[in-house]
């Protein structure tokens, strides 16, 4: 088989899915640059196309396949013009879930790499041989560390830091444990070294600690949970900035963690605790390991101990067997709890999960209808909560200019990047991304605030 070395070619990379996948893409860019591959956002200049895919639910899989097909069409078109064919590489959750099958189904794909195998992409580029290739570990084990020198894709003033990978909770609807591997925490010192390194290289103002279940951090490596200690130490490094903890699990929140979030000035008064549902029967079948009563007790405790906290949650509609009455219980719960931030999803029937075999699958039409009801409910709650900000003074981290006439867009400590709303800021002086400004709120929208710089 002919082989060719493509190191030195430019790479066009598409990162799909959640921030955890984004961190993998950032690590990959660091590795590629070390191997002398430039990264370009102009597909016409690229000799290598890489898609880092997501395959969590149906919509994500569809988006991944559409993107691959688009790049395959580009490759074909260029080959048709007599140009050197680009290499098309597919990495991440989709190959991990479906093995080499996608490589065989789409002939333009040159290689597929699993969630822990993408670090071997430079080797493949160097020793590329014709014919499809699949590098997929049966049990993903890789976890990056502070030596990875990843390159940020996010604006330089904020970064996601993956503190652990994999999951051991085995919620009955979720494929993550099978595609991301066993729960594994990074070394505490490595996480802190990475934050220090990113802070020294960039104008970093905000770190978002992420994982599949960050509240269990340390359990595997240290045999006890060390998330409170990690958040507290990260806060010292990010003095005058923000540390935000995302992706917690309501069954694993400790008093110590709540205490750290309450006490540390640099830690955002924000907690992200997906509950998925509130009905005890459904929570049990979902294997969520919490009851409705325990969720209520936890929320009460958090709100008492962290005054002004913003709670984010996510819920699922149309889980198998969810009756109309159980769904209405969920709507009532959302109204009662008044979560400051809420994401809703329709249940996606994923093969090789326990829930996929359950009786009473809810029709797509019914799921969508329930989803709409939830969104409408939360829209009203979010609008009411936002009205409470009227005339208040809030600290805003500027993300970008919204126009060229002095309007900017940023976020308060209650808004995580990408998933929450933010604040439009009017200013007579020029502002730049990464600046903290004090803002008086003069108007409120459903999900955003509008304010003027003081």
Residues sharing a CB contact under 8 Å with residue 363, sequence separation 6 or more, in sequence order: none
Burial class (CB in 10 A: 0-12, 13-18, 19+), 267: buried
Enter the tokens of residue 301.
């405790």
170: contact with ligand SF4 by CB under 6 A = yes
Site size toward ligand SF4 (CB under 6 A) is 10
- Binds ligand SF4 by CB under 6 A, chosen from 6, 186, 249, 411: 249
Instruction: Compare residues 120 and 349 and give the one whose CB is closer to ligand SF4.
Output: 349
Closer CB to ligand SF4, 165 or 206, in the complex: 165
**How far apart are CB 99 and ligand SF4 at their closest, in Å?**
21
Task: Compute the C-alpha angle 75/78/84, nearest 5°.
Answer: 90
Residue 343 binding ligand SF4, by CB under 6 A: no
In whole angstroms, the minimum distance from the beta carbon of 382 to ligand SF4 comes to 24
Q: Nearer to ligand SF4 by C-beta: 135 or 171?
A: 171
Contact 348, 59 (CB under 8 A): yes
Q: Any alpha helices (H) in 245-363, and if so which ranges? A: 255-263, 280-286, 292-305, 324-337
Specify whether the CB–CB gap between 280 and 292 falls below 8 A. Answer: yes
313: tokens are 């949650």
Question: CA angle, 423 as apex, 419 and 424 as ends, to 5°?
Answer: 125
Provide the CA 329 distance to its chain's centre, in angstroms: 28
Place of tokens 């003074």: 393
Assess contact for 153 and 22: CB atoms under 8 A. yes
- Tell me the Ramachandran region of residue 26: left when phi exceeds 0, alpha when psi lies from -120 to 50, beta otherwise: alpha
Name the minimum Å distance from CB 213 to ligand SF4.
5
Give the nearest distance from C-beta 345 to ligand SF4 in angstroms: 11
- 167 part of the interface to ligand SF4, by CB under 6 A: yes
Find the binder of ligand SF4 among 100, 177, 321, 343 (CB under 6 A).
177
Number of neighbouring beta carbons within 10 Å of residue 331: 18
Residue 284 is a binding residue for ligand SF4 (CB under 6 A): no
Note whether 212 binds ligand SF4 by CB under 6 A.
yes
Q: Select the residue interacting with ligand SF4 from 169, 187, 314, 395 (CB under 6 A).
A: 169
| Nearest distance from C-beta of residue 192 to ligand SF4, angstroms | 24
Question: Which range of residues in 100-108, 162-170, 347-355, 408-416 is near ligand SF4 by CB under 6 A?
Answer: 162-170
Picking from 66, 61, 15, 7, the residue whose alpha carbon sits closest to that of residue 38 is: 7
Indicate the residue among 51 and 167 with the shorter CB distance to ligand SF4: 167
Shortest spacing between CB 236 and ligand SF4, in angstroms: 29
Contact between 26 and ligand SF4 per CB under 6 A: no
Q: Give 357-362 contacts, CB < 8 A, sequence gap 24+.
A: 358/172, 358/285, 358/320, 358/321, 359/320, 359/321, 360/320, 360/321, 360/322, 361/320, 362/318, 362/319, 362/320, 362/322
- Footprint on residues 30-49 left by ligand SF4 (CB under 6 A): none
Nearer residue to ligand SF4 within complex by CB, 278 or 450: 278
Stretch that binds ligand SF4, among 1-9, 150-158, 172-180, 431-439 (CB under 6 A): 172-180
Beta carbon of residue 274, minimum distance to ligand SF4 (angstroms, whole number): 7
Residue with smaller CB distance to ligand SF4, 170 or 379? 170
Residue (170 or 304) nearer to ligand SF4, CB: 170
Q: Which is nearer to ligand SF4, 241 or 248 (CB)?
A: 248
Q: Which span (2-10, 173-181, 256-264, 299-307) binds ligand SF4, by CB under 6 A?
A: 173-181
Q: Which is nearer to ligand SF4, 142 or 447 (CB)?
A: 142
Q: Is 406 in the site for ligand SF4 (CB under 6 A)?
A: no
Candidate residues 11, 51, 135, 176; the one interacting with ligand SF4 per rule CB under 6 A = 176
- Regarding 344 and contact with ligand SF4 (CB under 6 A), the answer is no
CA-CA distances (angstroms) from residue 336 to 170, 313, 329, 377? 28, 14, 10, 11
Minimum CB separation of residue 176 from ligand SF4 in Å reads 4
Pick one of 54, 174, 235, 257: the residue that binds ligand SF4 (CB under 6 A): 174
**Listed ranges 38-46, 163-171, 349-357, 385-393: which one lies at the site for ligand SF4 (CB under 6 A):** 163-171
Binding status of residue 171 toward ligand SF4 by CB under 6 A: yes
Closest to 285 measured CA to CA, from 319, 318, 313: 319
Least Å distance, CB 287 to ligand SF4, is: 8
Cα angle: 401, vertex 209, 424; to 5 degrees? 20
- Listing DSSP states for 44-55 in one string gives GG-SEEEEEE--
In the structure encoding, which two tokens stand for residue 390, read together?
């009227």
The angle at the Cα of 227, spanning 16 to 119, to the nearest 5 degrees, equals 35
Q: Which residues bind ligand SF4 (CB under 6 A)?
A: 167, 169-171, 174, 176-177, 212-213, 249
């Amino acid at each position: 088989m002919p082989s060719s070395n493509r190191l030195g070619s430019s790479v066009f990379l598409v990162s799909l899915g959640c921030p955890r996948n984004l961190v993998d893409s950032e690590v990959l860019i660091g590795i590629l640059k070390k191997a002398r591959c430039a990264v370009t956002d102009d597909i016409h200049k690229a000799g290598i196309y890489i898609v880092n895919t997501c395959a969590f639910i149906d919509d994500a899989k569809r988006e991944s396949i559409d993107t691959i097909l688009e790049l395959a069409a580009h490759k074909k078109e260029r080959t048709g013009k007599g140009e050197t064919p680009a290499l098309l590489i597919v990495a991440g959750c989709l190959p991990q879930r479906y093995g080499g099958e996608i490589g065989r189904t789409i002939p333009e794909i040159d290689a597929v790499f699993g969630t822990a195998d993408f670090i071997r992409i430079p080797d493949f580029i160097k020793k590329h041989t014709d014919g499809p290739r699949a590098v997929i570990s049966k049990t993903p084990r890789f976890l990056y560390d502070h030596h990875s020198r990843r390159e940020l894709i996010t604006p330089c003033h904020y970064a996601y830091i993956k503190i652990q990978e994999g999951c051991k909770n085995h919620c009955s609807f979720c494929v993550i444990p099978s595609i991301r591997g066993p729960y594994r925490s990074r070394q505490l010192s490595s996480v802190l070294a990475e934050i220090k390194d990113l802070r020294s290289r960039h104008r970093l103002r905000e770190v978002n600690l992420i994982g599949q279940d960050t509240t269990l951090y340390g359990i595997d490596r240290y045999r006890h949970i060390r998330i409170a200690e990690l958040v507290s130490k990260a806060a010292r490094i990010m003095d005058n900035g923000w540390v935000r903890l995302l992706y917690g699990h309501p069954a694993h929140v400790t008093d110590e963690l709540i205490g750290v979030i309450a006490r540390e000035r640099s830690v955002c008064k924000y907690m992200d605790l997906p509950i998925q549902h509130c009905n005890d029967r459904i929570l049990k079948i979902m294997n969520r390991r919490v009851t409705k009563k325990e969720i209520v007790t936890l929320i009460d405790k958090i709100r008492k101990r962290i005054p002004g906290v913003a709670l984010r949650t996510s819920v699922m509609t149309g889980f198998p067997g969810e009756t109309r009455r159980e769904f209405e219980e969920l709507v009532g719960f959302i109204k009662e709890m008044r979560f400051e931030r809420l994401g809703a999803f329709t249940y996606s029937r994923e093969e090789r999960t326990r829930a996929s075999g359950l009786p009473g699958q809810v029709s797509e039409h019914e799921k969508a209808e329930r989803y709409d009801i939830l969104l409408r409910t939360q829209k009203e709650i979010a609008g009411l909560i936002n009205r409470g900000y009227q005339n208040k003074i809030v600290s805003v981290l500027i993300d970008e200019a919204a126009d060229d006439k002095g309007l900017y867009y940023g976020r308060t400590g209650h808004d995580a990047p990408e998933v929450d709303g933010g604040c439009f800021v009017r200013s007579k002086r020029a502002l730049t991304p990464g600046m903290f400004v004090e803002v008086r709120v003069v108007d409120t929208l459903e999900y955003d605030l509008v304010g003027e710089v003081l």
